[in-house]
Structure 1
Amino acid sequence: MDLQQMRYVVAVAETASFTRAAEQCHVVQSALSHQVARLEKELGARLFERTSRRVRLSPAGEAFLPAARQALEAAERARAEVAAATGEIRGRLTVGSIPTVAAVDLPAVLRDYRLRHPQVRISLRTGASERLVEQVRDGALDVAFLGVQPGFRPQGVRDRELAHGRHVAVVAPGHPLATRHEVDLRLLSEEVFVDFADGSAARAQSDRAFAAVGLRREVAFEVSGVELMVRMVRHGLGIALLPAAFTAELHGLRCVPITDGPVRVERLVWSRFTPSPAASAFLALLDSGTPSPGA
């Protein structure tokens, strides 16, 4: 058993195709198939169930895949540690973020990081705060930027506060509230809302703010991304509550301050274990002072 065979197994599992896996690994399909077959013979079990229409992991393959990924990650971490000892940062950096991060100018941070460490392969994943915490805890992400309620402390990871601020009401230019200098939750409770999915951390901030003052509201449209939310508001289908710092990026909409609106805290989280050289360099860049939003 060797690392190359493990790479091939992971590639086939991820693509569900020997052909696409071979293309991804830059090897002819016959060679990849031969190495997978050799590994299966050594293990004494079939790793994949093959039909004329699809390829999927067998029960033995399901058991083998997590260990193979861990072995590949350990090998890559070992190479990165050796490179770091000689003064070069290499390896992978996987960053997670909520779509509405505003405490840092994330594209600018990633640009500066890539200029400083061109040998690091960077990837970015967006998602809900609760899911991002899980991925950092499980090792799928190196670091993540969250948006949560005051007092929220993620478990099983290290974290620190980056910023906090109030939400504003986002309305279409022709909406009756567009001319108001400020509003309160009682007035907003009469409106139809576009918001994130029920149960998400982003949605909970607004729900709890209304519940705290004994009010109910109608969320007619649930969306998974802020882009669709903004488009629906722009077309007058409802109003939204978004962090004031983030709405500076919006154009063609009116953002009205809320006197008793929800507060969002942005937090940075990373693994409780020793970060990789690539992750350590990213955390150091954040600590040294990052570009401000809009810079």
Structure 2
Amino acid sequence: MELRQLEYFVAVAEERNFTRAAERVHISQSGVSAQIRQLERELGADLFDRSARVVTLTVAGKAALEHARAALAAADAVSQAVGEVADLIRGTLTVGMVVGCTVTPLFDALATFHRAHPGVEISLLEDNSAQLVHAVRGGTVDLALIGAAGAIPEGLDALTIIDERLVAAVPNGHPLARSRRITLRDLVPHPIVCMPVGTGLRTVFDQACATQGLHPSIALQAGAADAIADLAARGLGIAILSDSMAAHYRDRLVALTITDVTTPALLALIWRNPRGPATRELVAHCRRAFA
């Protein structure tokens, strides 16, 4: 008795027709018939009543059907289990991260994963959040750290790392430094330093401005928070950062709450489901690292 014979038997039982079963398993009708006959000889009983136009199961066939399905499912489970082990022994994993990423727990997770599964080859690439979302959806990136505006991209699983509001950051001598709370209209007369288009922070800022019909002057763009803070500290523009980012630069910048920007900026790990064993393991490492 062979697994392919059981596969053909189940196909005929479910299709109730040898021709349709043959199309389903991608062999000729005569091939299916021959294998079913061989299986019946081995079992010593007819599995199908072929006297009518529609093929029906005999009593023996009905008794065999669920066991055949269980045998095929068990074979699939064996194949999957071996495949998952193989993927964690000599697989590949492509990880994306937003440009300018300095979120060290991600690097910690990659390091612990590498120590646990040294045979898995890890590729790391930087891009803007929009491109990384597209890559995860398309399957060219397994897991990515992105910025998002208010919500996780639809159709993907995620682990939210940061969920916080935008702030404007200015040096102490700036005209707005004493305000502490401002609106988007207060920012419009001043040059802005912010993340490039396609990042989560920039999306939140652009959407909020568009809602009010405002057109701020984007003087400079940089992918790293350090660069944005340095440019703002030198008086080249008002920095648009997240609250936790701005906190790192309180020695040279004053963080101002933008009262009419309520959509949060998210930093999140995203992946597609179902995910492979290597991705699943890395997600587990990331959950521990970010905890």
Residue 65 of structure 1 is matched in structure 2 by none
> Kindly tell me: are residues 89 and 256 of structure 1, through their superposed partners in 2, closer, same or farther at Cα, counting changes over 3 Å?
farther
Name the amino acid aligned to 1:195.
Answer: C
- Provide TM-score, normalisation by structure 2: 0.60
> Kindly tell me: are residues 101 and 225 of structure 1, through their superposed partners in 2, closer, same or farther at Cα, counting changes over 3 Å?
closer
In 2, distance between residues paired with 1:121 and 1:87? Answer: 10
Residue 234 of structure 1 is matched in structure 2 by 233
Residue 274 of structure 1 is matched in structure 2 by 275
In 1, distance between residues paired with 2:237 and 2:217? Answer: 10
Residue segments in structure 2 that go unaligned for 5+ positions in a row: 1-79
Alignment of 1:189-200 (within 5 A): 189-198=188-197
Name the larger-Rg structure.
2
Name the amino acid aligned to 1:137.
Answer: R
Residue 168 of structure 1 is matched in structure 2 by 167
Name the amino acid aligned to 2:182.
Answer: V
Name the amino acid aligned to 2:235.
Answer: G
In 2, distance between residues paired with 1:195 and 1:87? Answer: 40
Structure 1 contact 195–223 (Cα < 8 Å) conserved: yes
Q: CA deviation at 1:160?
A: 4.9
Residue 3 of structure 1 is matched in structure 2 by none
Name the amino acid aligned to 2:144.
Answer: A
Structure 1 contact 90–278 (Cα < 8 Å) conserved: no
Residue segments in structure 1 that go unaligned for 5+ positions in a row: 1-79
CA deviation string 1:206-265 (max 9, x = no partner): 022123344332112234444433332122110121111233444633323322234212
In 2, distance between residues paired with 1:237 and 1:180? Answer: 19
Residue 52 of structure 1 is matched in structure 2 by none
- Provide TM-score, normalisation by structure 1: 0.59
> Kindly tell me: are residues 248 and 206 of structure 1, through their superposed partners in 2, closer, same or farther at Cα, counting changes over 3 Å?
same
In 2, distance between residues paired with 1:139 and 1:81? Answer: 22
SS at match of 2:181: coil
Please identify, of 130-139 and 90-99, the stretch whose mean Cα deviation from structure 2 is larger: 90-99
Q: CA deviation at 1:201?
A: 4.7
In 1, distance between residues paired with 2:234 and 2:81? Answer: 52
> Kindly tell me: are residues 87 and 132 of structure 1, through their superposed partners in 2, closer, same or farther at Cα, counting changes over 3 Å?
closer
Structure 1 contact 101–266 (Cα < 8 Å) conserved: no
> Kindly tell me: are residues 284 and 201 of structure 1, through their superposed partners in 2, closer, same or farther at Cα, counting changes over 3 Å?
closer
Name the amino acid aligned to 1:95.
Answer: V
In 1, distance between residues paired with 2:257 and 2:170? Answer: 11
When the two chains are superposed, the root-mean-square deviation of aligned CA atoms in Å is 3.2
CA deviation string 1:74-97 (max 9, x = no partner): xxxxxx975853896443322112
Structure 2 contact 129–198 (Cα < 8 Å) conserved: no
